[in-house]
Structure 1
Amino acid sequence: MQIRDLPYPDPGRPDVRSGPRLLLWLGRNQLAGQIKAMLWGTLHMASVAVLPVTLGVAVQAVVDRSGIRLALAGGLMVLLGTLIAVGDTMLHRTAITNWITAAARVQQLLARKTAELGATLTRRVAAGEVVAVSTGDVEKIGWFVEALSRFASAALTTVAVCVALVIYQPALGVVVAVGVPVLVLAVLPLLPRATKRADEQREKAGRATELASDTVAGLRVLRGIGGEELFLARYRRASQEVRKAAVHSARMWALIAAVQVALPGLLLIAVVWYGVGLVQDGRIGVGELVTVYGTVTFLLFPLRQFEEIAMAYSFSRPSAARAAKVLALRRTVPTSDDGYHGPAPAGDLHDPASGVLAPAGLLTAVVCGDPDAAGRLADRLGGHAAGDSTGVASARLGDVALDELPLDAARAAVLVQDKDPVLLSGTLAELLDVPASGAVGTDAALAAAQCGDVLTALAQASADDSGDPMRTRITERGRSLSGGQRQRLALARSLVTDPQVLVLDEPTSAVDSHTEARIADGLKALRTGRTTVVFSSSPLLLDRADRVVFVQQGSVAAEGTHRELLREAGYRAVVTRETDAESHTEKAAVTAALESELTELKKIEHIEESA
């Protein structure tokens, strides 16, 4: 895989049992790239390793006054210099390709998982954690994949050089062959502590990212209540904790780097000291000593790769574990056509867990006192909460359980609009260009959602002065629009889709009562013959629903029309927002009025009897 070939047609099915297994899976899937980078790295390092040999030959040629050997050594240096340049260039190209393609694979997997889970992802994993995994963690995972091939070439070259030294000059070669493993193993006791500090830094950085994400998402609300300074102070504290953790971690890695410099230096001193003694005794020549010295100096270079791979693994292992945690989230809805081969499902929408039933072709309103419970119920009705390991049975559309449907089929049959729908950046025409049945036109959907004033505002903001609202760009998440305008455009987008079943969670919470009444009329008219479920406690919407279901403590408490359910004290308390005290006062007033009326009736009866 080359960078120009990205994205992957299919990023594959990762092994998410643990972070190391995910890293191993990535390595296996990029085996060709890893081997290519390792070969180029071996060529580069082997050329660097042989360079001291030619230097030793040149020195010995000068000592022996041999012009031919000196010329031969010069020619070998030119050749090795060329090989070093080519090997280093190609190693960099292939290693960076491995980094980018590995990061792209993980990002595609995360994007696929996000699309698969939809709005339930941020209910199971914090939004800040998802952002941290898809940015910083992906980069660290790619770093390890990139460093792995260079480490492999360094290890292979180091072993070859040590063996060659033992053969070339046994007296000095044995010293080097024994000293190099000691240098490599010397840092192992420091790695667990360094890894722990790196984990602490990442954990605090994740919390700071989550806090920043939540603050930006609620900035408008914070400004409304004057809470910017409070959250800014919290972020400052979190940022300082991240800085302190980073410094704490950097000190340990600096210590490891110092050990990697100091110990090879001691080995080099020992080799030179011992080698000078051998030269004085006449056991080896000056050229041989220069060759061994140069080779030992070269070994300092691959030893740095050992330090880097240790650091890369220490940082990437927790990052891979967090990525695996997100990628391991499952839903039982199949993501391919393997799970269901029957006809398109049709019929009533039923949630066995709560008992909510939405008859086919009708507008059903669901009243739930707990907004969080309402959101979870809406997710279950759309099949988004299936497979949460809660043991709750999946919602059914007709005779088919939604967890038996492929993901595409389930979403085509049942569309859920979250209470906080997202508008992607782009023109209004692009926003409304969604997969649809074609039965509902854009104009009809915009009219039913009462988007007239929104179209006027967009026409005035048209960048090309065309006055066409469909060509006006909408900023990211619709931040240039008010909450009510965003809500109505999102509703229009859902209506254009025209799914068999449409589930709306508080679709009019940000609009005024007059607009809400018109939206209720337009929604009912446009969705005639289609199953529609609206989660709301607004009397304007409830009064226009064909049937209303009152859910209390996770199960259906009552059902009927809005006017019928007003006789229920619990339903009336949720819809009218009356408190227990107000309800008691109202009942007392009604009782007093009845008693007064009864007293008057008795007086009239007494007068009639007297007459």
Structure 2
Amino acid sequence: MQIQDLPYPDPGVPDARSGPRFLWWLGRNQLGGQFKSLAWGLLHFVSVSALPFCVGFAVQAVVDRSGSRLALTGGLMVLCGAGIAVGDTFLHRAAVTNWITAAARVQQLLARQAAHLGSALTRRVAAGEVVAVSTGDVEKIGWFVEALSRFLAAALTIVIVCVGLFVYQPALGVVVAVGVPLLAVSVLPLLPRATRRADVQREKAGRATELASDTVAGLRVLRGIGGEELFLDRYRRASQEVRHAAVRSARMWAVISAIQVLMPGLLLIAIVWHGVRLAHEGRITVGELVTVYSAVMVMSYPLRHFEEIAMAYSFSRPSAKRAAHVLSLERVTDTGGTRAAEAPAGDLYDPDTGLLAPSGRLTAVVCGDPDAAGRLAERLGGHPAEEGVSVLLDGVPLDELPLDSARTAVLVQDKDPVLLSGSLRELLDVPSSGAVGAEEALAAAQCGDVLVALVQGSLDTEDPMDARITERGRSLSGGQRQRLALARSLITDPEVLVLDEPTSAVDSHTEARIADGVRELRTGRTTVMFTSSPLLLDHADRVVLVHEGAVVAVGAHRELLRSEPRYRAVVTRETEEESASRDEQAVPRSELGSRDAPLRGAAEHDEGPLRGASDDDASLRGALDDEAALRSALEEIEESA
């Protein structure tokens, strides 16, 4: 795989059982690149290590006054120089290719996993950890994969040089053969401590990144409540912890680097001392002494790769562990599916709560716990809890459908939808049935003022569809973002659309028009809306009250207001004391029946205004209930003030 061939057609199925297994899997999937790097590395390192032999031969040729051997040695040095240049050039090329392709494979795997898990990813892994894995961790994993082949080339070169020195001059070769392995393992006792310090640094850096991403995501809210300085101080403390951890880790690696310099120096001193004695005794020649000395001196170059591979592994192991954790996550639903690819159309039913959303109708769901409402919305979209039962669509479990079919059939719009940066045209260019156009969806979501704002904020276009939307729509208000996200969901025109608090940031007048628009545009389609807004509830075909994880009441909005105290408590914020007071002040129905019998008799014989008032009785009662709710809310505000 070359860089120009990226991305991979298929990045493969990773071994995500642990960090080391994931690194080993990456290495095995790049054997071609690893062997190339190993071959060029051997050419480079062996050419570098052969120079001392050439120098020793040249010195001995001068001592022996042999011109032919001196010329031959010069030719060998030219070959070694060419090998060094060619090997280094192509080693660097192969190493960088291995690094980039390994990082690209990990990024593709993470992107595929994010698309596979969908919104479940950020519910199971912190957003900051996802950012850390997909940025810095990817680079460190690629570094280890790239450094591995260079380390193997350096290790093989050291073995070759030690064997060559032992054959060339056994008296000094034995010292080198014993000393060099000791140099290679001299830093091993320090590696666990260095690895632990690197792990601590990575962990603190991940927490700091998570804190930064969460702060940036909530910056608008933080500024609204004056809390940006508080979170800025938290990030300062977190960044200082990262700095201290990095300094402690760097100190340990500095000690390791110092040992890597000190130990070869001691070995050189021992070789020179021993070699001079041997030369004085006439057991070795001057050229042999120069050869061994130069070989050991040059050997410090491949030995540095032992330190590098230790650092690369220490930094990449926690990164690989985090990446493996993300890649090991599984959807509760079956991706492949055991049913036909075509998604069924019918009633949506949740066995856990007993919630039924009839086909082709607008069902509003009221839940006193917002978190429980969010979990129920996720379950309706095919994301049940680990121990939960799958939702049924026309009697077919969603987890038995192929993932694509399940997502086409049911779409869930989260209460905090994300708008990607780009033009409005690109934002609304989503997979859809084609039955709903952008203009219709924008009109139903009441996005007229949003389009005007986009045009006014754009300097290079007058078409709102070409206006740019900043990252996550930060240049827009919360209500504007909600309406654009709602328009995007309406364009997809799924068989079942689940909306979680779609108008929580919208004023009441706009909310009423949105309710009309959604009801009209979704005619004949199944829509489930989680809300406690009376304006939306009044437009629903049926309202379902979910209390403590189960459906406890079903009916129309105004009917439930009269008959269900728990429903009133959620929708109107009425307390238990106020509900009891209302019940005590209510006139018994039997007594009311005896009192108004004459009126009913008069009404039966009267065709005038009285009968009309009877026909509008439901509307009148709804208005009175809304007025009571408003009065209750005002009383609560006064009491809190």
Q: CA deviation at 1:590?
A: 4.4
* Residue pairs, 1:296-311, within 5 angstroms: 296-311=296-311
Q: Aligned residue for 1:35?
A: 35
Instruction: State the partner residue of 2:358.
Output: 359
In structure 2, distance between residues paired with 1:2 and 1:171? 47
Partner of 1:573: 569
Matched, 1:451 2:462: no
Q: Which consecutive residues of structure 1, in runs of 5 or more, have no partner in the other structure?
A: 602-611
Question: What do the CA deviations read for 1:248-305 (whole angstroms, capped 9, x no partner)?
Answer: 1111111111111111111111111111111111111111111111111122111111
Q: Which residue of 1 aligns with 2:221?
A: 221
1:334 Cα deviation after fit: 3.8
In 2, Cα distance between equivalents of 1:211 and 1:580: 40
Q: Provide, for residues 352-392 of structure 1, a one-character-per-residue CA deviation record: whole Å limited to 9, x for no partner.
A: 22221111111111111111111111111111346xxx221
User: Displacement of 1:582 after TM fit?
Assistant: 3.6
* Aligned pairs for 1:442-481 within 5 A: 442-465=438-461, 467-481=462-476
Say if 2:431 is the partner of 1:435: yes
Letter in 2 for 1:75: G
Give the corresponding residue for 1:605: none
Distance 1:238 1:83 in 2: 49
Deviations along 1:513-545, one digit per CA (max 9) or x if unpaired, are 011011011101110110111111111111111
How far apart, in 2, do the equivalents of 1:540 and 1:596 lie? 31
3-state DSSP of counterpart to 1:151: helix
In the other structure, the counterpart of 2:493 is 498
Contact 1:56–1:290 (CA<8 Å) still a contact in 2?
yes
| Corresponding residue number in structure 2 for 1:489 | 484
Residue 94 in structure 1 maps to residue 90 in structure 2: no
Matches of 1:344 and 1:409, distance apart in 2: 5
Deviates more, 1:590-599 or 1:447-456: 590-599
CA displacement at 1:397 relative to structure 2? 1.1
CA distance in 1, matches of 2:579, 2:485: 37
Aligned-partner SS, 1:559: strand
Match in the other structure for 1:148: 148
Cα deviation code 1:554-599 (max 9, x no counterpart) = 2212222212222211111111122334434444554799999999
Q: TM-score, normalised by structure 1?
A: 0.94
**Amino acid corresponding to residue 35 of structure 2 in structure 1:** I
Separation in 2, partners of 1:422, 1:323: 24
Which amino acid counterpart does residue 122 of structure 1 have in structure 2?
Answer: T
Q: CA deviation at 1:430?
A: 1.0
Alignment correspondent of 2:63? 63
Matched, 1:392 2:388: yes
| Partner in structure 2 of residue 138 of structure 1 | 138
**Contact 2:332 2:384 survives alignment (8 Å):** no
Give distance in 2, aligned partners of 1:339 and 1:72: 74
Greater CA deviation, 143-152 or 3-12?
A: 3-12
Q: Show the counterpart of 1:247.
A: 247
- Please report how far the alpha carbon of residue 36 of structure 1 lies from its aligned counterpart in structure 2 after TM superposition: 0.5
Q: Distance in 1 between matches of 2:558 and 2:311?
A: 68
- CA distance 1:207–1:541, shift in 2 (3 Å): same
1:343 offset after TM fit, Å?
3.7
TM-score, normalised to structure 2, is: 0.90
Shifted more, 229-238 versus 588-597: the winner is: 588-597
Residues in 1 aligned to 2:234 and 2:343: alpha-carbon distance in whole angstroms: 51
Residue deviations 1:6-52 (CA, integer Å, cap 9, x gap)? 11111111011111110011011111000100100010001001111
Give the match for residue 541 of structure 1: 536
Distance 1:591 1:140, change over 3 A: farther
| 1:155–1:591 distance in 2 versus 1, CA, 3 Å | farther
Distance in 2, Cα, partners of 1:483 & 1:381: 25
The corresponding residue for 1:606 is: none
| Contact 2:341/2:405 (8 A) holds in 1 | no
| Aligned position for 1:421 | 417
Which shifted more, 20-29 or 561-570?
561-570
SS class of match (2:118): helix
Residue in structure 2 matched with residue 607 of structure 1 by the alignment: none
1: distance between equivalents of 2:577 and 2:325?
48
Match in the other structure for 1:608 = none
Q: What secondary structure is seen at the aligned counterpart in 2 of 1:350?
A: strand
Secondary structure of 2:345's aligned partner: coil
Contact 1:331 1:385 in 2 (8 A): no
Counterpart in the other structure of 2:399: 403
The secondary structure found in structure 2 opposite 1:544 is coil
Deviations 1:488-519 (A, max 9, x none): 01100110110111111111111000110110
Decide whether the 8 Å contact of 1:19 with 1:318 is kept in 2.
Answer: yes
Which residue number in structure 1 is paired with residue 608 of structure 2? none
1:155-184 CA deviation, whole Å, 9 max, x = no partner?
Answer: 111111111111111111111111111112
Provide the rounded CA distance (Å) in 2 between the counterparts of 1:37 and 1:578: 73
Letter aligned with residue 565 of structure 1: L
CA distance in 1, matches of 2:576, 2:285: 102
Change in Cα spacing, 1:593 to 1:235, as seen in structure 2 (3 Å) is farther
Give, in whole Å, the separation in 2 of the partners of 1:73 and 1:584. 107
* Post-superposition CA distance 1:377-428 (Å, at most 9, x none): 1111111346xxx221111211321111222111111111111111111111
State the AA in 2 paired with 1:344: A
Give the AA of the match of 1:509: S
Q: CA deviation at 1:128?
A: 0.7
Aligned residues of 1:462 and 1:471 also touching (Cα < 8 A): no
Give CA deviations for 1:118-148 in whole Å, capped at 9, x if unaligned: 1121111111111111111111101100100
CA shift in 2, pair 1:452/1:2, >3 Å: same
Corresponding residue for residue 118 of structure 1: 118
Cα distance in 2 for residues equivalent to 1:180 and 1:571:
80
* 2:538 match: secondary structure: helix
Question: AA paired with 1:355?
Answer: G
On the 8 A contact 2:343/2:401 being kept in 1, the answer is no
* Alpha-carbon spacing, 1:522–1:492, altered in 2? closer, same or farther (3 Å): same
Letter of the aligned partner of 2:367 in structure 1?
Answer: C
Aligned pairs for 1:179-328 within 5 A: 179-328=179-328
What per-residue deviation string (whole Å, max 9, x for no partner) do you get for residues 38-82 of structure 1? Answer: 100010001001111101111111111222222222222122111
Q: Structure 1 pair 9/463, CA: closer, same or farther in 2 (3 Å)?
A: farther
Structure 2 unaligned blocks of 5 or more: 598-641
Shift of 1:346: 1.7
CA contact (8 A) 1:117 1:384 kept: no
Identity of aligned residues (%): 75
Query: Are the aligned partners of 2:421 and 2:470 in contact in 1 as well (CA < 8 Å)?
Result: yes
Hey, what's the Cα distance between the residues in 1 that align with 2:588 and 2:274? 112
Residue number in structure 1 paired with 2:105: 105
1:16 and 2:16 equivalent?
A: yes
- Could you say what secondary structure the match of 1:557 adopts? strand
For residue 290 of structure 2, what is the amino acid of its counterpart? V
Question: How many residues get paired?
Answer: 596
Q: Tell me, in whole angstroms, the C-alpha distance in 2 between the residues paired with 1:341 and 1:302.
A: 59
